[in-house]
Amino acid sequence: MEVNLKLELDDTGEEVNATLYKQIVGSLRYLCNSRPDLSFAVGVVSRFVDTPKQSHLTAVKRIMRYVQGTMNYGILFPRCVNNAVDKLEGFSDSDWCGDRVDRRSTTGYIFKYLNAPISWCSRKQPVIALSSCEAEYIACAFAACQGLWLESLLKDIGIDLTEPIQLLVDNQSAINLARNPISHGRSKHIETRFHFIRFQVAAKKIVLSHCSTEIHDILTKGLKHDRFIGLRNKIGVVSLDHLI
């Protein structure tokens, strides 16, 4: 996605073939199942499948050019990792009011096991956040739900985690809100379901930590080329040429 690009409904823009647009975006969404680096950009262009305009198609073509140049990239799950810790590690982030249409924020999270990505998501939040802290807090709640589900899934296949789920967040205020019930007065307008993260932290099923690497930015915003490539490597999307 182009840096600082904010797509919105374009009533005066040139119309494009809606059927073709939906076919392309649908194919890209399928590709996101193995390419987390595409999740944010594809999620953004998916919001305009009803009435696509030329500006939206231009963004889609940019994604397709990137895919064409990275056909040999994907994710690998290691057969054996000697230095990896047997724990589930997640990264959570949000882009506050990133959508120009309804001012909703974008949630992004990715979970890694044995240093390999096993689950990721980039989606628009269902409510409007009144602050960046609230947006990050809601993103944490979604990530916590996914993390607990992954823990139960691993247990079903015979893998018991040796440590609590580690969830890294780049917003200290959201971490404090989840840890400290005294802050409830400033968050009582937040829907009850999003306070789920607070109970999981209290039960010590999830450990929240501050993350300064911002590895999850690739799931919530458009980045410059060098930074995008660096974060793509960190989340585990690598070239598979050496396997051929």
Give the mean model confidence (pLDDT) for residues 14-31. 94
Confidence band of 183 (pLDDT split at 50, 70, 90)? low
Mean predicted confidence (pLDDT) in 177-182: 73
* Tokens read off for 238: 């690598």
Query: Is 9 in a helix, a strand, or coil?
Result: coil
Q: Which CATH architecture has domain 88-221+229-233?
A: 2-Layer Sandwich (3.30)
Q: 227 near 7, Cβ under 8 Å?
A: no
What is the arrangement of strands in the sheet containing 116-124, beginning at the earlier edge strand?
Answer: 116-124, 106-113, 88-95, 165-169, 206-210
* pLDDT above 90 coverage of the chain, percent: 42
| Amino acid letter, residue 66 | Y
Residue 197 has pLDDT above 90, yes or no: no
Q: How many residues does the chain have?
A: 244
Task: Pick the closest to residue 54 from 102, 2, 11 (CA basis).
Answer: 11
Helices (H), the chain: 18-31, 39-45, 54-69, 132-156, 172-179, 196-202, 225-235
The DSSP letter of residue 14 is P
Give the pLDDT score at 188: 64
At residue 58, does pLDDT exceed 90?
yes
On average, the pLDDT of the chain sits at 86
Q: Do β-strands 116-124 and 165-169 pair in parallel, antiparallel, or remain unpaired?
A: unpaired
Q: Are 7 and 44 in contact (CB under 8 A)?
A: yes
Query: pLDDT tens-digit profile of 70-112?
Result: 999 999 887 765 655 678 999 998 888 888 778 899 999 999 9
Using DSSP, state whether 53 is helix, strand or coil.
strand
Instruction: Assign 196 a pLDDT band (cuts: 50, 70, 90).
Output: confident
pLDDT at 6 over 70: yes
Band (pLDDT 50/70/90 cuts) for residue 181 is low
Cβ(227)–Cβ(101) under 8 Å?
no
Which amino acid is residue 230, in one-letter code? G
Domain boundaries, the chain: 1-71, 88-221+229-233
